[in-house]
């Protein structure tokens, strides 16, 4: 695994000579707030920049870390003033240890002082901080983290421990600045929402990062009436979680007058710019990277433990630097520099496969045959190239 991530880093360094986009291109834009919500599936990973300060809110999955590393490089960020971990679920903390082991400077690591079902010594933020010989700054309601002279993160929740659902122990923060405001809801569901509402902790915010990937158990009408956002951001993948974004949630947002933006509809990131009260939301593409490979299709065979990759284009496609992910086993496989000719297919098998394979993975029974399993193929920059599942429903 260490060799794999080392290879990914080498690929990224190789392309570092490309001209990278600047966050602040003119003097007039230097005070603008920029938020990049990475398109990494049903997971949270956001970069907020203001006045040359950069904060990371959650780190996505372990297997999507290359996308975070790519984003930091594309945005010319080699130092993070702070890393916030909203709660202990792996779709928010998965890339944290890899970040801790990277060469990115980190000034502080923050987490909620309320969490459940994990010992402090095993808390992902504590483990990452230990890697850096740092301490975690545990935050509670009312705490503030200043950004420069005139902006601040204010901690709103959680206000009490929820022993039923760790999502309701999410760190909820409001970012406020002269340029505009954003409410970051983590994976907060209606139970934590009502905790905050009953204490009058929620106030109007220009942008809402919706809780729990836009499912129906979050972003209540009461919350929307208190926050009155103009724009709502949902970070999810319907392929990974079919109930997100939930039609009922979208209906509530529409009734509240929100313009809704969903990360899965973007290329590399859902980007937001706040400047002088104006809000711009756009599709961010890392133009300095080689063009993303398109035209690959994939299908799984449970009976023979194989994945078939089909090149539907009229040109050859190389798998150089690509890696394959299995959701059920949480396995990551680095693929060889294999070329798929135009209009042809290759078969990727395992040690359990009976018959011919073009590539054989070094494991038995890679794909689950009784529970839903997703196969995702990524390039060296963490960009999703194709995905499929084994045809089974989630339990």
Answer whether residue 163 shows pLDDT above 70.
yes
The pLDDT of residue 69 is 98
CATH entry 3.30.1330.60 includes domain 27-284: no
**In this predicted model, what pLDDT tens digit does every residue of 116-146 receive, in sequence order?**
989 999 999 999 999 999 999 999 999 999 9
Answer whether residue 164 shows pLDDT above 60.
yes
Could you tell me which residues come within 8 angstroms of residue 2 by beta carbon, excluding any fewer than 6 positions away?
none
The pLDDT > 70 percentage for the chain reads 92
The fold of 296-389 is Immunoglobulin-like (2.60.40)
Taking a C-beta distance cutoff of 8 angstroms, is the pair 203, 154 a contact? no
The candidate with the shortest Cα–Cα distance to 342, out of 321, 365, 316, 377, is 316
Note the pTM of the prediction, 2 decimals.
Answer: 0.92
Confidence band (pLDDT; 50, 70, 90) for 29? low
Taking a C-beta distance cutoff of 8 angstroms, is the pair 262, 214 a contact? yes
Pinpoint the residues of the chain covered by CATH 2.60.40.1260: 296-389
Helix (H/G/I), strand (E/B), else coil: 241: coil
Question: What is the torsional sign of CA 225, 216, 184, 267?
Answer: negative
**In this predicted model, what pLDDT tens digit does every residue of 261-289 receive, in sequence order?**
999 999 999 999 999 999 999 999 999 99
Answer whether residue 6 shows pLDDT above 80.
no
Q: What is the DSSP letter of 255?
A: H
Task: Calculate the average pLDDT of the chain.
Answer: 93
The candidate with the shortest Cα–Cα distance to 140, out of 169, 177, 118, is 169
Answer whether residue 11 shows pLDDT above 50.
no
* Distance of alpha carbon 337 from alpha carbon 335, whole angstroms: 7
User: Across 4-143, where does the E strand assignment appear?
Assistant: 33-38, 46-50, 53-57, 79-80, 82-85, 105-106, 109-112, 136-139
* Residue 194, both tokens: 């009502």
**In this predicted model, what pLDDT tens digit does every residue of 316-370 receive, in sequence order?**
999 999 999 999 999 999 999 999 999 999 999 999 999 999 999 999 999 999 9
Pinpoint the residues of the chain covered by CATH 3.60.15.10: 27-284
The pLDDT of residue 148 is 83
What's the average model confidence in pLDDT over 220-242?
A: 98
Confidence band (pLDDT; 50, 70, 90) for 373? very high
**In this predicted model, what pLDDT tens digit does every residue of 83-106 receive, in sequence order?**
999 999 999 999 999 999 999 999
């Amino acid at each position: 695994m260490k060799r794999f991530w080392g290879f990914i880093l080498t690929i990224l360094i190789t392309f570092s000579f490309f001209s990278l986009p600047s966050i602040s291109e003119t003097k007039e834009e230097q005070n603008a707030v920029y938020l990049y919500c990475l398109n990494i599936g049903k997971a949270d990973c956001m970069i907020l920049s203001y006045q040359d300060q950069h904060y990371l809110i959650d780190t996505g999955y372990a297997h999507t870390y290359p996308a975070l590393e790519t984003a930091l490089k594309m945005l010319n960020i080699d130092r993070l003033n702070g890393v916030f971990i909203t709660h202990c679920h792996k779709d928010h903390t998965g890339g944290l240890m890899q970040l801790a082991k990277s060469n990115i400077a980190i000034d502080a690591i923050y987490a909620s002082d309320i969490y459940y079902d994990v010992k402090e010594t095993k808390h992902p933020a504590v483990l990452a901080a230990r890697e850096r010989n740092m301490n975690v700054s545990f935050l509670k309601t009312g705490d503030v983290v200043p950004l420069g002279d005139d902006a601040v993160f204010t901690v709103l929740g959680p206000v009490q421990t929820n022993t039923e659902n760790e999502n309701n122990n999410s760190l909820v923060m409001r970012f406020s600045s002269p340029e505009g405001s954003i409410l970051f809801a983590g994976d907060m569901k209606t139970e934590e929402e009502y905790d905050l509402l009953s204490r009058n902790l929620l106030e109007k915010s220009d942008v809402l990062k919706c809780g729990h990937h836009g499912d129906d158990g979050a972003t209540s009408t009461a919350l929307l009436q208190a926050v009155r956002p103009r724009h709502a951001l949902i970070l999810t993948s319907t392929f990974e979680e079919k109930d997100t974004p939930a039609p009922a949630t979208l209906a509530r947002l529409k009734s509240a007058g929100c313009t809704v933006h969903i990360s899965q509809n973007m290329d590399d990131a859902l980007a937001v710019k706040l400047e002088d009260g104006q809000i711009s939301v756009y599709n961010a593409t890392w133009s300095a990277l080689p063009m993303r490979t398109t035209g690959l299709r994939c299908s799984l065979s449970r009976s023979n433990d194989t994945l078939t990759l089909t090149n539907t284009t009229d040109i050859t496609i190389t798998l150089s630097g690509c890696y394959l992910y299995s959701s059920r086993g949480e396995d990551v496989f680095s693929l060889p520099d294999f070329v798929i000719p135009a209009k042809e297919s290759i078969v990727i098998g395992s040690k359990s496969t009976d018959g011919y394979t073009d590539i054989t993975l070094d494991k038995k029974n890679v794909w689950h045959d009784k529970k839903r399993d997703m196969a995702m193929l990524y390039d060296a920059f963490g960009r999703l190239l194709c995905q499929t599942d084994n045809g089974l429903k989630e339990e």
